Amino acid sequence: MNAANVLVGTSTGLQSQRGWWARWRSRVCLAGLAAVAGVLGTAAQGQQPTVAEARPEFGNLQGLDDAAIRRAVRGGVNHLLSLQHADGSIHDRGHETTMTSLAIMAMASIGILPSDPSGEGIAMRRALDYVVNPGAPVRSPRQDSQGYFGRADGSRMYGHGITTLMLTEMLGMGADEQQDQYIAEALDGALRVTLAAQQVKKSPSNQGGWRYTPESTDSDLSVSVWHLMALRSAHNDGMAVPIEAIDAAVHYLEMSYTGAVDAEGKPRDVSGFSYTPGQNRPTFAMTAAGLLAMQVCGQYDAPIAHSAADWLFEQPLKLDERFFYYGAYYYAQAMHQRGGRHAQHAARELTRLLLAEQNADGSWNSTQGEERNYGSAYATSLAVLSLSVSYHYLPIYQR
């Protein structure tokens, strides 16, 4: 498989495939003004069904205060908008491209579209232009000539994976045809970088994954999950992403499972995922990330996915977890997809923690470990993505 042979582009079929979703989502979003606490201010309340009516599963998790969640999410989005710079970027502590991409996904997760004439829609359009418009006059290019997004803002392959995932989710949803073209062209180059980095010769225990640079000869789960989800999302978009690349990444995930398994691949005990293969102690963030990635790739019924979900269910959710906001983002999505008692438990515990931690200005800030250095754009975007799980607006998170 040659990464140079990946065909992305902006074919009519691909545009129409994503276009129907954008039009449907726009109608539901505008109809659901009251349900999302007025995020989009251009729809008339009561003229069409609300989001709760259009999506019966919304708000069906017992014991949750939906109104409080909506207020929190709106406050978070308002804070992100307050961080927007003149060039369209949204950030407060650097890594401008990556933080802007996270903020775009957070806004999209509650139905904001760059084609909306509202202030939020215009802000999203400017943010997307910051990331993908090669001729933007007020900033240096975010993507280099090879298609790499991790160099300009120093975010390396972490940021490249996040931005690539954002582009797969926004493909066909730009403000107009020109922005759609920019998104598709940027995504084409970004996917080539991701696929080429996976093909770098690595040891058997690192094969199939990614790490800090496109040339890395080792891998870790925290970087790899972003790229795996981006590839899966692109595959879902109908792009010619080789299924072998996704399979290789899933195999790397499986090697990062910490528990012993029998000859049939069934775990002997409840366990989770670790940062790199060969470790025997699962962590909250890596188990949540690994579980979501497995499920996004269709491995809902894999024995190690069941085990990871049970491990997360059994662990007390704590703010002092290392990389809490990173893990919370994956945890919310993965456990919601899991359904049943896992979804109920995760939604209740995570909502309780996040609502208590929100600041008066709508922001979230980490006070623990390395995440203290990443700023409010980072924590707020991930908190909004975690709390907005029931909206199901981002295609990659739908089961």
CATH code: domain of residue 314: 1.50.10.20
- The predicted pLDDT at position 13 comes to 38
Instruction: Among 14-23, 88-97, 373-382, name the one with the lowest average pLDDT.
Output: 14-23
pLDDT (tens digit, 9 = 90+) per residue, 105-135? 999 999 999 999 999 999 999 999 999 998 8
Selected residue with higher pLDDT from 245 and 49: 245
pLDDT (tens digit, 9 = 90+) per residue, 325-382? 999 999 999 999 999 999 999 999 999 999 999 999 999 999 888 899 999 999 999 9
pLDDT (tens digit, 9 = 90+) per residue, 197-211? 999 999 999 999 999
- In sequence order, which residues have a C-beta less than 8 Å from that of residue 175 and are 6 or more positions away? 114, 115, 121, 125, 128
* 11, pLDDT greater than 60: no
Q: Is residue 4 part of a domain?
A: no
- The predicted pLDDT at position 397 comes to 73
CA–CA separation, 237 vs 375, rounded Å? Answer: 32
Instruction: Among 65-69, 122-126, 154-158, name the one with the lowest average pLDDT.
Output: 65-69
CA-closest candidate to residue 9, choices 269, 237, 298, 209: 237
* 89, pLDDT greater than 80: yes
Residue 52: band (very low, low, confident or very high) from pLDDT cuts 50, 70, 90 = very low
CA–CA separation, 299 vs 270, rounded Å? Answer: 17
* 40, pLDDT greater than 60: no
Average pLDDT over residues 236-241: 91
- The predicted pLDDT at position 64 comes to 75
Residue 62: band (very low, low, confident or very high) from pLDDT cuts 50, 70, 90 = low
- The predicted pLDDT at position 25 comes to 41
Q: Is residue 159 part of a domain?
A: yes
- The predicted pLDDT at position 57 comes to 39
- The predicted pLDDT at position 88 comes to 96
Which parts of the chain are beta strand (E)? none
Q: Is residue 97 part of a domain?
A: yes
CA–CA separation, 152 vs 216, rounded Å? Answer: 18
* 39, pLDDT greater than 60: no
Q: Is residue 185 part of a domain?
A: yes
The DSSP bridge partners found for residue 84 are 90
Collapsed DSSP state (helix, strand, coil) of residue 296:
helix
CA-closest candidate to residue 244, choices 189, 207, 291, 205: 207
Q: Domain range spanning residue 137?
A: 11-397
Q: Is residue 5 part of a domain?
A: no
CA–CA separation, 278 vs 227, rounded Å? Answer: 21
- The predicted pLDDT at position 369 comes to 84
Q: Is residue 6 part of a domain?
A: no
Instruction: Among 26-35, 48-57, 150-159, 288-297, name the one with the lowest average pLDDT.
Output: 48-57
* 78, pLDDT greater than 50: yes
Domain count, the chain: 1
Yes or no: say if 51 and 391 are a contact pair by the CB < 8 Å rule.
yes
The DSSP bridge partners found for residue 257 are 273
Selected residue with higher pLDDT from 380 and 64: 380
- The predicted pLDDT at position 120 comes to 97
- In sequence order, which residues have a C-beta less than 8 Å from that of residue 9 and are 6 or more positions away? 184, 188
- The predicted pLDDT at position 63 comes to 61
pLDDT (tens digit, 9 = 90+) per residue, 160-176? 999 999 999 999 999 99
Q: Is residue 1 part of a domain?
A: no
Residue 54: band (very low, low, confident or very high) from pLDDT cuts 50, 70, 90 = very low
Please state, rounded to an integer, the average pLDDT across all residues of the chain: 86
Residue 261 tokens, joined: 């398994």
CA-closest candidate to residue 317, choices 343, 353, 342, 366: 353
Q: At what angle do helices 96-108 and 119-132 cross, to 10 degrees?
A: 140
Residue 44: band (very low, low, confident or very high) from pLDDT cuts 50, 70, 90 = very low
* 294, pLDDT greater than 90: yes
